[in-house]
């Protein structure tokens, strides 16, 4: 029996109790007892409805958390293709491991801050005058002030 079927059963019994109460003499003991049964069933019906709503909310939350876990696991697996590399004193990026490079993929590095947030952000080379740095298009970090070395 599904929760919806149980709820329909409670509703049917409550309606039957009410209908029986209506055909009995207005002052009889049986009518009074049926009225109590009806009242209890209406309360039970409301509790069942509330539980059904809570169950749907909990199921949605479980689905969302499972998706987050899956994304986290996928990201962890993806990040294993990179190694934390110091490109200049005190400055690190996630550099693609040569052994993990796919045939259709260029060598590249990822922003460490964005990677920690679970986001893949490709660092891009930029120059201003003779100074070079790596720019993160996602968080706008400008990484490593100085002249380009072969970082990527």
Contact positions toward Zn ion, by CB under 5 A? 111, 113-114, 121, 136, 138-139, 141
| Listed residue (111, 104, 91, 96) closest to 152, CA to CA | 96
* Distance in Å, CB of 116 to Zn ion, minimum: 9
* Distance in Å, CB of 140 to Zn ion, minimum: 7
Nearer to Zn ion, 34 or 93 (CB): 93
Nearer to Zn ion, 93 or 114 (CB): 114
Nearer to Zn ion, 108 or 138 (CB): 138
Nearer to Zn ion, 16 or 124 (CB): 124
CB atoms inside a 10 Å sphere around CB 87: 19
* Distance in Å, CB of 94 to Zn ion, minimum: 11
Cβ–Cβ < 8 Å for 151, 93: yes
Nearer to Zn ion, 31 or 138 (CB): 138
* Distance in Å, CB of 68 to Zn ion, minimum: 20
* Distance in Å, CB of 92 to Zn ion, minimum: 13
How is 60-110 classified by DSSP, letter by letter? HHHHHHHHHHHHHHHHHHHHTTEEEEEEETTEEEEEEPGGG--TT----EE
| CA 83 – CA 142 distance, rounded (Å) | 20
| Listed residue (31, 43, 120) closest to 76, CA to CA | 120
């Amino acid at each position: 029996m599904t929760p919806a079927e149980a709820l329909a059963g409670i509703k049917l019994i409550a309606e039957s109790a009410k209908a029986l109460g209506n055909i009995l003499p207005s002052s009889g003991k049986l009518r009074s007892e049926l009225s109590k049964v009806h009242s209890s069933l209406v309360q039970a019906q409301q509790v069942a409805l509330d539980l059904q709503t809570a169950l749907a909310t909990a199921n949605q939350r479980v689905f969302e958390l499972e998706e987050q876990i899956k994304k986290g696991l996928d990201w962890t697996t993806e990040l294993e293709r990179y190694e934390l590399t110091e490109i200049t004193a005190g400055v690190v990026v996630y550099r693609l491991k040569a052994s993990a490079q796919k045939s259709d993929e260029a060598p590249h590095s990822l922003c460490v801050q964005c990677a920690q947030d679970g986001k893949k952000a490709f660092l891009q080379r930029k120059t201003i005058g003779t100074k070079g740095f790596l720019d993160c298009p996602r968080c706008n970090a400008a990484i490593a002030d100085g002249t380009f070395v072969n970082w990527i």
